[in-house]
A = this chain, B = another copy of it.
Amino acid sequence: MEKIMEFEFSKEFLERFKLALTDRDDVYIQESLGGVRSADICEILTEIGIEEAKYVFDILSSDIAADVLVELEEDFRVEFMEDFAINELSHFIEILDSDDGADLLNELSPRRREEILEEIKNEEKVGHLLDLIRYDEDVAGGLMAKELVKARENWTVKRCIEEIKIQAENVEKIYSVYVVDQQDRLKGRVSLKRILLSNEDKKVAEIFEENIISVGIFLAAQEVANIMQKYDLDAVPVVNVRRKLVGRITIDDVVDVITESAEEERQLMSGVTSDIEEDDGVWVISKARLPWLVIGMTGGLIAAQIADYYSGALNVIARLSLFIPLIMATGGNVGIQSSAIVIQSLAGKNGFNDTLGNRLLKMFYVAMVNGSILSLIVFGAIMLLFKDQLLALTASIALLNVVLLASFMGTITPLLLNRFGINPAIASGPFITTANDLLGLTVYFSIAVFLYNL
């Protein structure tokens, strides 16, 4: 029976593989990796460590090795490539698609980059690479590949097919042929399906689609992802300001953008800096987490100072302070919820956005509804548990105010961050949350001072 399954590693496989590696049993290694997909080989390489990985890598066929190199995790790859000779790297970069090649180049030192570009024989490829390494990876230009199939309106379908044959080796996945004018300006596209179904003598002019979506070269990667997702596109052409066709972005690159941005948001929300994973070392993980913890803790210390300041005037501080956690936790939760909703609507923004005024008004209504209900519960609970009317009144009035304030902060902060081009997901992170906690505490004690007539 054929193997039409995802490759799954067993502990046994890996142990046997490591054994073969110790014995330098090239035949076994080669055989056991036959038919294994590059993405799976990456996992094996990551598992066996950089030095052994290089040994296995050198046994792989050139094509597979190039794919493996592209699919390795960036951290691992950067370290991995350090041991490569210039001519090895230039060989792989030459056979890769220009977008992948440019990504590799950008991970190398400027000097090695120069040396590699000098080594590459194919002039066109060098031109493509030089063009691509200029763009930041978070704009369309940084995602696109230069390899694509172009056609003119007056070509026949037959000529298109010939052109595809010539380009087929360079272009891994062909979804469409792009139609350009004499100045290389994008006019439209013909899908591969359409070409296959059309008579060979038909002119491109008769069958091409005119009204197609393209993206500018400096459009943000996240925007490109939104557009491709919204309109269900497999590939999108990239044009410069003169509408000249300069490249194309395929859906697989965009899927990575979507996943990465979701991950980044989750990290910002959880208070973990930089791109760490569970299998990173203890020190790496500790270092990434510490700054956020220090921020949160500094907030706690300042909170103690605030409470201490008021305690001079308040003998009742002991009882009041029992409710500090309640006030702070609720304020914190409200703030995170508010910002999460705003962040979500900023991420999936549609044509019609509410004005700031409408947003704030609505936020106010929601806060009034939730704040009132929560305040009533708290009032009832304190009367029941502590039988202290003044305390119940202080806590519930403070709570309503804290909910209103936290909603306001939670709504306005991501909007402001977004305005200044900062990822608004940070508004759910420890820094802003801590700031909101402190504001809430101040409100609580101010109301206490007022109500206790001190």
User: What residues make up the interface of A, taking CB atoms closer than 8 Å to B?
Assistant: 2-6, 8-9, 14, 35, 37, 39-40, 43, 46-47, 161, 164-165, 168, 173-174, 186-188, 192-193, 195-197, 210-214, 227-232, 234, 239, 243, 251-252, 254-256, 258-259, 262-263, 265-267, 269-272, 276-279, 282-283, 285-286, 289-290, 292-294, 296-297, 299-301, 303-305, 307-308, 311, 317-318, 321-330, 332-334, 336-337, 339-345, 350-352, 354, 359, 362, 365-366, 369-370, 373-374, 377-378, 381, 385-386, 399, 428, 430, 434, 437, 441
Pick 29 A–B contacts, CB within 8 A, sort by A: A2-B187, A4-B188, A4-B210, A4-B214, A37-B231, A43-B352, A164-B196, A192-B192, A192-B196, A228-B255, A229-B255, A266-B343, A269-B269, A270-B339, A278-B342, A278-B354, A283-B369, A285-B341, A292-B337, A294-B374, A297-B330, A300-B329, A301-B385, A304-B385, A307-B322, A321-B322, A324-B324, A328-B328, A329-B434
Contacts of A351 in B (CB 8 A): 8-9, 40, 43, 47
Contacts of A265 in B (CB 8 A): 262, 266
How many Å lie between the Cα of A345 and that of B272 in the bound state?
A: 14
Contacts of A256 in B (CB 8 A): 229
Contact A297 B326 (CB under 8 A): yes
How many Å lie between the Cα of A293 and that of B365 in the bound state?
A: 16
Contact A3 B211 (CB under 8 A): yes
Contact A344 B2 (CB under 8 A): no
A67 CB, nearest partner CB in chain B, Å: 10
The CB with the most chain B CB atoms within 10 A, among A286, A304, A330, A370, is that of A304
How many Å lie between the Cα of A168 and that of B285 in the bound state?
A: 52
Contact A336 B285 (CB under 8 A): no
How many Å lie between the Cα of A164 and that of B196 in the bound state?
A: 9
A176 CB, nearest partner CB in chain B, Å: 11
A241 CB, nearest partner CB in chain B, Å: 13
A sample of 15 more A-B contacts (CB under 8 A), given A278-B354, A321-B321, is A35-B211, A251-B255, A258-B259, A262-B265, A266-B340, A267-B340, A282-B365, A293-B330, A300-B323, A300-B330, A301-B378, A305-B385, A308-B386, A311-B318, A325-B328
Question: A304 contacts which of B187, B263, B326, B365 (Cβ < 8 Å)?
Answer: B326
A305 and chain B: residue at smallest CB distance: B385
Contacts of A318 in B (CB 8 A): 311, 317-318, 321
Q: A196-B164, A251-B251 are contacts. A301–B381 as well, Cβ < 8 Å?
A: yes
- The secondary structure that dominates the A interface is helix
Contact B214 A5 (CB under 8 A): yes
A283 CB, nearest partner CB in chain B, Å: 7
Contact A366 B289 (CB under 8 A): yes
Question: A352 contacts which of B9, B283, B350, B359 (Cβ < 8 Å)?
Answer: B9
Contact B286 A366 (CB under 8 A): yes
Question: A210 contacts which of B2, B164, B262, B290 (Cβ < 8 Å)?
Answer: B2
How many Å lie between the Cα of A84 and that of B437 in the bound state?
A: 50
Contact B213 A437 (CB under 8 A): no
A192 CB, nearest partner CB in chain B, Å: 5
Contact A211 B317 (CB under 8 A): no
Contact B297 A329 (CB under 8 A): yes
Contacts of A292 in B (CB 8 A): 333, 337
Question: A344 contacts which of B6, B278, B381 (Cβ < 8 Å)?
Answer: B278
Q: A290-B373, A304-B326 are contacts. A14–B352 as well, Cβ < 8 Å?
A: yes
Contact A333 B430 (CB under 8 A): yes
A342 CB, nearest partner CB in chain B, Å: 6
Contact A232 B252 (CB under 8 A): yes
Contact A270 B337 (CB under 8 A): yes
Question: A227 contacts which of B6, B254, B327 (Cβ < 8 Å)?
Answer: B6
